[in-house]
Structure 1
């Protein structure tokens, strides 16, 4: 009999399936969805706690900033563009990047034949590829080596996502949830690119 995995995505609300009627990203909905992702990441294991703490700190900064002017910061786009000339909110940029890391990781999981068909038990190649694409370009030597440590302790596929029906249910829901998450990340990326708000410096 299969044991329950660390992740159960069946009840996960996820990012909204569509944007607000205005066509914009509602700040509160984005914060709530980000918190769900953080809760998922917590279940990767204690060694991932620095990433969890960093993401949680970024979400808290975003929430605090939103509460200072709820009327004019109802939508993420308005918040970014209104403050574009003084945009020194690294917490928003790094939160987006961390969310992209998780989205890329799960994208590789659900599009990998070894995982889906052969049910290989190693998720290390997927998290490594996601990291190389999303975060490594912005990390200096210290953080790159920190990730190498986390990489070694990546939970197995059966531990994280389960096997048999558990695994199939998780994959089914990932295929629903990840495109919605990608939709929001692409919209933010387009905004940052259009208004030249990216910061490519390494930390």
Structure 2
């Protein structure tokens, strides 16, 4: 039986996305550590995806600064929203919003790869899945120019076998393990994203401004 705990990209971080508490709170430190590591997924996709990786890293940095500027006040991601929701500032709320959107894109892309593999419909060309994930998540927040740039960037998506090999850190015969770990990562990532979405709806903070 394959060892689903074998070392891969997904096991390189000691901080997976945290399981939320019973009252739907998300550990801020664990969430940001996991987000930082997942940003490296775009480094594996290729250098043309570096801007996405940098965007995630930049938003994590803004959120860490917000936490440092509010010592003892932020334990959970929820606290970030609560602290800024009633203030004139929105730096952290905007950073968390864009971080969440990038995570949603990553989540849908990974989920589609896993689902296609399970359904026996896996295609070596990952560009359609990349564009499909973009259509479902980020596209509506991007203006025409950014949409065209992403359309070009998506052409550089690696082949499925190459991506899975890179995620396996170059080790062969690891497809089953990598896909199982992808599925495992998705469990809490989906929960985290869903909770953040509900918080933004509750406080009427969803911004449809395009970039």
Task: Give 1:174's aligned residue.
Answer: 182
Q: How does 1:72-151 map to 2 (within 5 A)?
A: 72-85=73-86, 86-89=88-91, 90-113=94-117, 117=120, 119-151=122-154
The normalised TM-score by structure 2 is 0.85
The normalised TM-score by structure 1 is 0.88
Say whether the 8 Å CA contact 2:113–2:122 is kept in structure 1. Answer: no
Q: Residue 165 of structure 1: SS of its match in structure 2? A: coil
Out of 156, 166, 183, the residue aligned to residue 153 of structure 1 is 156
Say whether the 8 Å CA contact 2:20–2:191 is kept in structure 1. Answer: no
Superposed CA RMSD in Å reads 2.0
| Number of aligned residue pairs | 195
1:183 maps to 2:191: yes
Q: Residue 131 of structure 1: SS of its match in structure 2? A: helix
1:198 maps to 2:202: no
Task: Give 1:8's aligned residue.
Answer: 9
Pick 1 or 2: higher relative contact order, CA cutoff 8 A, min separation 6.
Answer: 1
Task: Give 1:60's aligned residue.
Answer: 61
Say whether the 8 Å CA contact 2:24–2:195 is kept in structure 1. Answer: no
Shift of residue 11 of structure 1?
4.2
